[in-house]
Structures are given as C-alpha cells and as structure tokens.
Homo-oligomer: A and B are copies of this chain.
C-alpha cells in the first residue's frame, strides 16, 4: 500500500466516501488508488470552483465531509472563492491538495507556490504531510478537524512522493466531538428576558434552522411572543408548509433597520450579532436598534436544539404553542415575467422535499416570502458572498440527496463564474434544474453604486455593470455542456417548463428572460 492508497482507505473508513476532483500529475497516485478502493465515489469537475462548491453543498446536506482533490497551489486557488463560502457556511470539507515531491520543491519549477499560504485564509487546519507513513494519520486528523462542530475546512497537502512511497496502512479517525450545551445560567437569563414582556427576538442559524429545532423555537415564540429571526444568509433552512417560519433580516440596510426597529433584546442561537453585508457612507455597520441588548445563548456549532429545548422547558412552552406555516394552494401565474410572477411560479411548483439553492440576487428578493407556505423544502444560501456558489453547491446537494429535486436559482451574472458546473450535472445525470434569471446585468451593482454614494453613473461606469453586449445565450451554453435547456419569456412558459422539470428526473436548464 502506498501513501495515496492509505489516505483513500482512511478517508473511506472515516466516512468520507465522496471526492470532488480536478486532478493533475501530482495527484495521479490518488487517482490510481480509486481503482483499488471501490467505496470512494469520485466526481470530476472541469474547474476547481465547481469542485469546492460541490463539497460545500455536500457538507450542508449530508452533515459530513466530502473530500476534494486539487492540483497544487493554482488548483487550490481556483477553488478558493467557494472554499471561502464553505468556511463561512461552516461546511465540513477535507481538501487534499497535491504538491511536488518533497525533494523537488526547492527547484522552483513552474507550478511551485506557497500552497500553505494559499490555503490558510480559508482553512481551519493546514498541514503538509512529511512522508508516506504520515499520510494516513494526517488524513485522519483532517477528517477530525472537518467534523468538529459546526464543521470546518481542513486542508491536507500531499507531496507526490508521500503518495507514491510505501505506507503502513490506514489510521483511525477520532469520534466526532459532542456539541457544547448551553449553560443553565444562559438558559435562565434568556428565559428571564423573554418573560419580561420587552420586545425580543431569537436570532438563529446553523442547526437551529433545521425543522426539529425550529419547532421548539416555535413553542417559545407562541409562549412568549418573541419573534423568530434568521440571518440574511444561512447555510440551510428547513421551511415551507408544516414548518415553523422565521423572518430573515434583509440585505438592504434600511430594510434591515426597519425590521429590527423596536427590539429591546436579541437572543443569539448559533448566530452572530446582525451586521450589514457591506458598509455604506452614513449607514451603520451594526443593525440592531439603539438600546437593544444582545444575549448569546449558544455559539455556532453548540447544541442549539438542546439549548432551545432547555429554554422551552424553563418557559413551560408546550408543543401546542408552536404555529406552523399552512399549506397554501398557490395559483400559477400568467402574463409577463416579473420578479413577482417568477416568485409565484417557483412557489407554486417547488416539489415536496426539494432543495432550493438560492443565488438569485436581486431577482429573488421576493422568493423567500413567496415560498413560506409552499411544499416543504430546504433553502440554501451564499454564506460568504462570493458569487458563483450556486450551481456547484447544487451538485453537492444532489449527490448527497439523490432522491430529492435540486432547484438552482441563479442570476446570469453569478452563474457565469462557475458555468462549468453544467457539465458535471450532465455527466453525473444529477436531478438538478437550473433556473437562470437573465436580466443581463450585474443588477445589484446598479443599486450599490447609488447606495455607496458614487453618484449617477455615466456610460463608462454602466459599461462595467451591464453584461448585455453580447447577450449570453444560456440555451447554447447548456447545450455545449450536454444539459437540455429552454428559454422562457412569459409566466405561462415558465410554469410549463418548471412543471416539466419537476416531473422528470435529470439535469436541465431554464433561461428566464427578464
């Protein structure tokens, strides 16, 4: 057994049995080991941002890490933006990055770079294996780091000779650490605040946005009148009909301030104090109203279900107190394609248990509200703000949950960053429907130009925000990568195309011309 095989075996034994990859010469022994370790599923991406984003999506939906396999510093670099997003999403990922043979690094060959330096800004843990016998134990350590709640990015760098030299078998992965429980004192303090009658909200993210925890939060809200809030972005929310709904803090600062106005207390459950996505002249960075106190009940990765349960017990909040979103029969829209009719079509047609990956940016600001009473589904968002996350995360979600329909809702500008994802969807036959909102501009930036006080843009500035010259033809782009596609220009056509996509399995793309 060589080092590469000892690593693949260790990964599989440690529960990491999916590898998203774009390999090169230095990773060839890892690739060759795949022939000998049948239980590792390897998924090829044609660009590393697809690979790392897929690992993010897999981690969110499987609640355990996938691995990536990347080619030296530049391969890692290409995957960096989606690793940034994954880090902010607290997704568990084990990156394997090939490196030159240990003795070759000093010669500064073309691909030589500071891989550890590139990895550090996106990784909780970085290590270069010193020799083949260390690789299995280093792999086990990487898995342990990745699985540590709330989930972390671990990057293991594998010099080629540590892959091809003789190793000594696999290493055991330590068990996943228990999540930390909230202190009785923090629970009592939260209960005291909620009983005070002063306007209060629970601000939740992480595991607190899964259905079981939300149900407990719903009891607390019913008992005390507390509002249930989620951050602007969340890795995964279980929502829709039959679930306890949360309000989301809007992206637009003035809207966020209006929403939080009047609150005297925000109790943080895995969440952070709400902050603006960007700074703007003369607007605050912190969104809570003046005089509002912030009380941490439990930190990200702590046992929020337990904390909410303890709080509900302390408050005597009974199951009957929880209010669930009703199932609404949503009419299918007709007429022109507008933000409203698009939102309505999605709400009407989202299938039971679907996974919605939301990178719809300006077009989709109404989607959250419109789908409140749609069929129950998971809602995945961009946690790091690096666009191009949506299609790759959809791939990972589809591989983690092959029996669930994935809907990727993507702005056209965003989707171009990782457009190569379509090819992997076709190759793997993934049950992913990609909806492209073709407004043919970086629409959000037109608003931001005003928000930051940069004045009225002239032609040259607008040229940097419009992407309509030439027009992107998404049907052709999809065809070029083997994904069947259609273009819709009316609400009826969107309803028809989405209906077909929901009924049939397999990848497809719908270009929604706005």
Contacts and interface: CB of A to CB of B under 8 A. Distances in A.
Interface of A: 21, 23-26, 28-29, 31-32, 34-35, 38, 42, 44, 46-47, 49, 72-75, 77-78, 80-81, 84-85, 88, 100-101, 103-104, 107-111, 113-114, 117-118, 120-122, 160-161, 164, 233, 272, 275-279, 281, 285-286, 382-386, 388, 413, 416-417, 419-420, 423, 426-427, 444-445, 448-449, 451-455, 457-461, 463-465, 467, 469-477, 479-482
A117 B467 CA distance: 31
Considering residues A78, A233, A457, which has the most beta carbons from chain B within 10 angstroms of its beta carbon? A78
Nearest to A428: B469
10 contacts: A31-B461, A32-B461, A44-B467, A72-B385, A73-B121, A78-B417, A107-B276, A161-B281, A427-B470, A477-B481
Given A74-B385, A463-B44, A479-B473, A121 B121 contact: no
Nearest to A416: B46
Given A161-B279, A445-B28, A463-B42, A285 B121 contact: no
Contacts of A416: 46-47, 420, 423
A122 B76 CA distance: 13
Given A29-B454, A471-B482, 9 more contacts: A31-B449, A35-B461, A104-B275, A104-B276, A104-B279, A109-B277, A109-B278, A118-B121, A427-B470
Contacts of A108: 272, 275
Nearest to A458: B35
Contact of A426 (B78, B460, B470): B470
User: Which 7 A-B residue pairs are closest in the complex by CB-CB distance?
Assistant: A470-B482, A77-B80, A74-B386, A35-B458, A477-B480, A104-B279, A476-B480
A31 B420 contact: no
B34 A413 contact: no
A29 B452 contact: yes
Given A49-B78, A80-B77, A113-B121, A479 B476 contact: yes
Contacts of A121: 73, 113-114, 117-118
Contacts of A470: 423, 426-427, 481-482
A42 to B, nearest CB: 6
B109 A275 contact: yes
**Residue among A49, A109, A279 with the highest chain B CB neighbour number at 10 A:** A279
Contact of A445 (B25, B29, B38): B25
Contact of A23 (B35, B72, B122, B445): B445
A452 B160 contact: yes
A21 B463 CA distance: 11
Contact of A417 (B42, B47, B285): B47
A126 to B, nearest CB: 11
A390 to B, nearest CB: 14
Contact of A472 (B103, B279, B472, B480): B480
A199 to B, nearest CB: 23
B74 A77 contact: no
Contacts of A81: 74-75, 77-78
Contact of A473 (B120, B452, B480): B480
B279 A103 contact: yes
Contacts of A74: 80-81, 84-85, 384-386
A491 to B, nearest CB: 25
A481 B417 CA distance: 13
Given A34-B461, A73-B121, A452 B164 contact: yes
Contacts of A84: 73-74, 77, 113
Given A78-B81, A111-B277, A481-B477, A32 B455 contact: yes
A35 to B, nearest CB: 4
B277 A452 contact: no
Contacts of A44: 463-464, 467
A88 B74 CA distance: 12
Contacts of A29: 452, 454
A507 to B, nearest CB: 10
A286 B462 CA distance: 52
Contacts of A113: 84, 121-122, 384
Nearest to A32: B454
